Amino acid sequence: MPEEVALAIVVCSTIVLVSIGRVVRQYLVGRAVRESAALPVELERRLDRIEAAVETTAVEVERIAEANRFMSKLLAERTGAAPWSRGPAPMITPH
């Protein structure tokens, strides 16, 4: 009988310890997720400024590209050549 009681105590203790371990693990994982999900206010402001700068840069690059296309069109019309033509064939020179 004492062996059976000791075995029952060991089994119950193991079950309780495993359960406590799982609860502690879930708590720590949940806490880590909550901490990583929340960004500091200063970091959010900084990211907003970076996003605004990137958007402004994209708009300016778009404007530059449009101006370049317009100038190419004007120059092509002025010279009478088709826009974006290759020009004369390259000449191979002996060296």
pLDDT per position as a tens digit, 15-34: 998 999 999 999 988 887 77
Residue 49 lies in a domain: yes
79 or 43, which is more confident = 43
Residue 61 lies in a domain: yes
Residue 53 lies in a domain: yes
- Domain with 71, as residue range(s), is 39-79
Residue 43 lies in a domain: yes
34 Cβ neighbours under 8 A, 6+ residues apart: none
CA distance 90 to 86: 10
Residue 70 lies in a domain: yes
Residue 60 lies in a domain: yes
pLDDT of 38 above 70:
no
The domain total for the chain is 1
User: Is the CB of residue 71 less than 8 Å from the CB of residue 61?
Assistant: no
Whether the model pTM is above 0.85: no
- pLDDT for residue 79: 80
Sign of the Cα torsion 69, 75, 78, 79 reads negative
